[in-house]
Amino acid sequence: MSESPDETPVGWLASSRLRIERAAEHLKSLSDHMAAAQEAKPLAFTSQKEHKTGWKVIGLEVFQEPSPRLGLLAGELLYQLRAALDNLVADLVSASGSRVTRDHCFPINLDEGQWTEANVVKWLGGIDPEWVAIIREYQPFQYKPETRRRHPLFALASLNNADKHRAIPARAILIGPGRADITPTTPGNVEKVEVQWPNPLTVMHSGAEVCRILTFPDPNSEVKVEINMNFLIGFGEGVTLATVEDLAKLVPEMESVINRFRPLTA
């Protein structure tokens, strides 16, 4: 297989490359919309006293949830990236002199047990063995079990599959760790602070408790609180919750996958 980019003919894997370019356009549009959403300052902090316990509770108020349009743009970006990989397989089938079928696709396997001879024939049948070996290199099961769900292809597949059923939600999220700077404004000391935000990433909702403060000796002492945290917008939920930075990384990563494939030498 040729390794020299100079030997790659014009138009080689063109459909996949066009989809990568389209994904980059969606990323630019998504980034512009997110910048406008964050400039609106949709979040604020609240303060409430628990009279029985003496704790001062700092909470979060969300004035405006991220627009569903952001989730649609993220979904369109993900679709183009996933389609770029499937188009890649179709082009490799044709370049190998075989006929493309509806079953051909770029597999993304978390479990090596899925990589059976029957499945490989179904997904990649007719593709030159050298190219099949490269596709196998990119499978998430090549990672250690505890890190497979952080594989970029797994993130792409999970978010794209979720978007097929409903637009992936855009959520206000918090990137940790955070810090609370607390200064008593009346005589007394800050006895204890409990910070509630997890690390490194969580979805935030109105009413979510950020931290609580107990002063001593007078639990009614007033305090000045400055919260230093990084709020972003994320997409999806659970283990597939991703920031726009995560999505941005997928574009060059998928392009690098496509660039691994060179025309077969005679």
| Residue 242 exposure: Cα atoms within 13 Å on the Cβ side | 28
Residue 232 neighbours by CB distance under 10 Å:
16
- Three-state DSSP class for 165? helix
Give me the DSSP letters along 39-50: HT--EEEEEEE-
Query: For residue 5, with 0-12 CB atoms within 10 Å meaning exposed, 13-18 middle and 19 or more buried, which class applies?
Result: exposed
pTM: 0.79
| Residue 90 exposure: Cα atoms within 13 Å on the Cβ side | 13
**Angle between helices 152-165 and 68-95 in degrees, nearest 10:** 120
Query: For residue 139, with 0-12 CB atoms within 10 Å meaning exposed, 13-18 middle and 19 or more buried, which class applies?
Result: buried
Spell out the domain ranges in the chain.
5-259
Per-residue pLDDT of the chain (266 residues; tens, 9 = 90+): 434 445 566 689 999 999 999 999 999 999 988 888 767 666 778 888 888 888 888 888 877 778 888 999 999 999 999 999 999 999 999 999 999 999 999 999 999 999 999 999 999 999 999 999 999 999 999 999 999 988 999 999 999 998 988 888 888 776 555 666 777 676 667 777 766 665 556 677 778 787 888 877 777 777 777 777 666 788 887 767 888 888 999 999 999 999 999 998 75
What is the phi/psi pair of residue 202, to 5°?
-150, 155
- Name residue, tokens 């604020």: 44
- Cβ neighbours for 121, distance < 8 A, ≥ 6 positions apart: none
